[in-house]
A and B are shown apart, each in its own frame.
Chain A
Amino acid sequence: MKCDLAAGCDSDGDGTADAAFGESVALTPAFSLSALRSNVAGEVAVNVTTLTDLATRLAEQNPNGLDAISIEGANSQVANLFGITGDLSALPVIDLTDSASLAAVSDNSARRAALLSAGLLQAASSNGGQSMEEALTALATEFLANNGQLIVNDGGADDSVSLSDVLSAVTAIITAVETASETDFGEVATELEREAGEAEQSAEGELTNAQPSPEAGSPALAQAKAMVGDVRTLVNASGLGVLETGAKAFGDNVEMAGKLLEPDLDSAVGALEQAVTAMAEALEEHMSAATAPTEAYSYQASNGLTIALTPAGDGVALSVDETLDGNTLAINATFAGTVEEDSSEDEDSWQDQLTVDVSLSATGSVSNSGVTLTLAQGSAIALDFTATESENWTNSDSEQGWNYSSDTSGQLHLNAASLLLDVSIAQAASEAVANPLLFTGTLDLALNGGHFSWQESEEHGCTNNDSGSVCEDHNSSTESATFDSASLKLSGELADSEDNKVALSLLINAEANGFVLEHNYSELYRNLWSDSGMSSNEHSAEDGFNDESEEAFVSFDFSLSVVAALPGVAEQTSISVSGARTGLKEGSLSGELQWLGKQLDISADAGSETITATNQDGVVLTLHEEEGSNIIGRIRKGDELLARVERSGDNLVLVRYKDGSFESAI
């Protein structure tokens, strides 16, 4: 077997990898994987993975024994647990170490399954001291003990395998695969990375809540009909009435608690602003001092706050620990790095060079009687760049007229910039606030390899002649910007004390691929002056940006999810949208809805005018207007055509099933 674990494969559990990623690994004789499939007729291919092995063990544990319902129910539960659509054992197996194998399968669900299968094994193996077989058995034992669920976040415990562990392993495997081959997992990678972040931030010890599809084990036609019902409920806006009701109840509480929270929060944020202003003032004084202090000292800021400074090497630690307008401030910040500036100037020019490599991390809290605002450990901003700017000018004045011109140019090379904010806002319970709110959120922004340049020219002058003078003002500028890569992670959760919550998570990765955004601007004013004043004037201007090309364009992929656990809704509901721009006019968009125990993946390819929806049973609905026909879609499972979606008249869409039954889409 080829090793497809990023950390390498330790088949005998001696703590040393026996094979690196991509190398062949000899398995112990005890190592085995299994898969179960029901209602098999004729010759079928069954693909065996770590995922099918877990499903097999889950089915075998079913007290009703092995039958179509227990087998397909187990397969479906494992698939739902990992957000995979389709029949687990029918998904094509991908060799992650072989770029040809990767290129041969573009199906996102299959790629996701391959990554998760490897991630499971890597997460299980990483607990150490176990052969791969033992690790897999330990994983299965824990999985079965939790009735087919995983702990979402085990806080890094060594004796368990959590969903967070699996997704982190997947992220590492993605990096290993993309490094070893030219494969770009695109939105699948972004989606999994976002899910890893969400799992990592989940409360420790909570179990996943994956359920088998209600139609697991049913005939394909019944699954198709169930899917149409799900899509109908989804499409019909008021079909989410249960959610609306829940959202309204939660929203009412947020609104009511928010009104009570607002003055306290305003006060806390105001105090924080005062603290930041005072720290910035203290830092500026410290940096600009002719001789920087080397011992700890206090600085009294102009707003009255006292900042304690403790110099350390190139940096300085700042802290404020005071009470301001009823707010208790306890903020610690650490500034480190260097700022070097070199400038020169003469009669007709100046130059300036700035080299910055700094970081500022902060932690602490501001609290009052109504709210506590906490800046968690890790919140930091870092900048590493070099900038140069210069200007030169000329000036002349004579009887024939006068002229002034200047040229300014500069460039900034950004090695890296990052911002990480980890904030929580906790409302205090009181007589007026029985159900207080808690908001936690993080913002992680990173930019690598940025390059910005700018050039400005201006020329003003007047030329005198017999009838008066001609004056011209000419301004032009060119700005350009590019970057190597950028990423944005944003996550937030708003919850109340009754465990109702709405969480949002967004991850965007982008690359410029050589595209440089340019902005060119020029304008000319031309005025004719005579003795009686201005006799005529002209104005012209050009302003524009350059376009991307087939070769140079900004590519990106993103993944957004919203998870809600609301009153009246038995299970969590999540909506996620992922997309990728892979070419100038190429891209894809997909969405996943997990709602009331069901799952629906919707994807669209730019330009193809085709929308595909796949549900948890592997039933695929393809919507595509067929020319010369009233058929606008087909429903299949595998190669079996189960239904046609047809337009009937102007307003009616019918789904016609292969058994002769039909139903309106809504």
Chain B
Amino acid sequence: MGLARPMNKHAMLCLKVVGSALIVAHLVAISLAPASVPPSSQLVRSGWRLVSPYLHATNLNHGYHFFAPEPGASSVLEFVGTRSDGTHRRGRLPDKQLMKPRLLYHRYFMLTEFLGSIPETDPIRNRVLQNYANQLLKTKDLESVELRMIWHRPSSRQEVLLGEGLQAPETYDRQSLGTYTWNRPATMSRMEFR
């Protein structure tokens, strides 16, 4: 028949008590993840530090701040590569035309969004840049690559009503990130991250 025998009432009660405790602990943990997104209190951040191993291990450590606090500029990585024969290759990450289907495009887009979210003073930024440069050198068969960060802000309603598209030049803000050649990023010490 496949139906288990009814469990002893005492055993069932014990199971329910343990189950309830686990449920409460889990709900507290998953609530602390979004609550710890800045601005947050020291209390919440301390609580989050306690449960973060569990949240990281289960991949439930998310803030769920989609388009929050508000939709902003997109981060795009522009590159100009030089091949061994001296010819150049231009491109950008992400590229709607080259990266299909859309989900793959979005994967690359998240890479550049991550880069754009790192403050310039953060030492990890250089490592990310070198790593991204290495990828471009490897996958595009380049000798060197010049990187530029582009922040592409959404056009205002007025700009669109005046006939400017979403790709109007004034909506792009460029920053040169330097020229890179192949270099294996060194392992960073723990102190550098702080």
Partners in one complex: no
Residues of B with Cβ closer than 8 Å to A? none
